[in-house]
Amino acid sequence: MNATRIIAVRHGETAWNVDTRVQGQLDIELNETGRWQAQRLALALAGEPVNAIYSSDLLRARDTAHAIASITGQALQTHQGLRERGFGVLQGKTHSEIEAHWPEQALRWRQRDPHWAPHGGESLVDVRERIIRTASELAARHVGEQIVLVAHGGVMDVLYRAATGQDLQAPRSWQLGNAAINRLLWTPDGLTLVGWSDTRHLDDDATLDETTA
């Protein structure tokens, strides 16, 4: 079968996740909890056959992926196509600050308007196209193998929606936990969901929303 197995992982926790501050494409490092999560994740994947590890080039994802690479012995490759959604002027702001200063933009964000983009940022339609294109490009290189993709909450959300046929505006009923293990199958026909949000390797991990990614 012309298929590639994908382990998709959101980066470990950052201080901005805790503060509900929008990171977007700003380069924020893991906090102590995030580094612990990355190590636990790496140990959980130690026995997995991994043929390649691809990561967003942003620090929080790259450091998470580095922990996996150190355990599995696979080289880490970064790809800008796996970056979080660009949130433009909203990056660096907390949810409460956005509600107070940009109420109209906050409303369109909450409503998941697929064509709305914050000034200097990306729309959901743009993000979906970028992520699906990147995931397909990388998976096509490894037919018959298993790869790890380390990215962000917004990326995980797009992958889940693509694998389950969920519309961009559909209310989310799935989780986007930091350092959770998500499993997908890629073929030239698209993505299929195998397993989602396995956090057994994390004792007390708190699941966060992509809006703090």
Active-site annotation holds for 11: yes
Residue 155 has pLDDT above 80, yes or no: yes
What pLDDT band is residue 203 in, cutting at 50, 70 and 90? confident
Active-site annotation holds for 84: yes
Q: Exactly one of 13, 84, 122, 152 is catalytic; name it.
A: 84
Q: Tell me, what's the pLDDT at 204?
A: 58
> Which distant-in-sequence residues (6+ apart) come within 8 Å of 36 by Cβ?
12
Q: Where are the alpha helices (DSSP H) in 12-112?
A: 15-18, 32-44, 59-72, 95-101, 103-110
Q: Give the number of other CB atoms < 10 A from CB of residue 180.
A: 22
How far is 19 from 38, CA to CA, in rounded Å? Answer: 20
| Tally of domains in the chain | 1
The mean pLDDT of the chain is 93
Give long-range contacts, CB 8 A cutoff, 24+ apart: 122-126: 122/85, 122/86, 122/87, 122/88, 124/85, 124/168, 125/168
Residue 93 has pLDDT above 80, yes or no: yes
Determine the average pLDDT of the residues in 92-113. 92
Range of the domain at 154: 4-212
Range scoring the smallest mean pLDDT among 95-109, 152-166, 176-190: 95-109
Determine the average pLDDT of the residues in 25-35. 97
> Which distant-in-sequence residues (6+ apart) come within 8 Å of 60 by Cβ?
11, 12, 14, 23, 27, 28, 29, 30, 34, 152
Residue 1 has pLDDT above 90, yes or no: no
Residue among 28, 18, 97, 101 nearest 62 (CA): 28
Residue 209 has pLDDT above 70, yes or no: no
Q: What is the CATH number of the domain that holds 78?
A: 3.40.50.1240
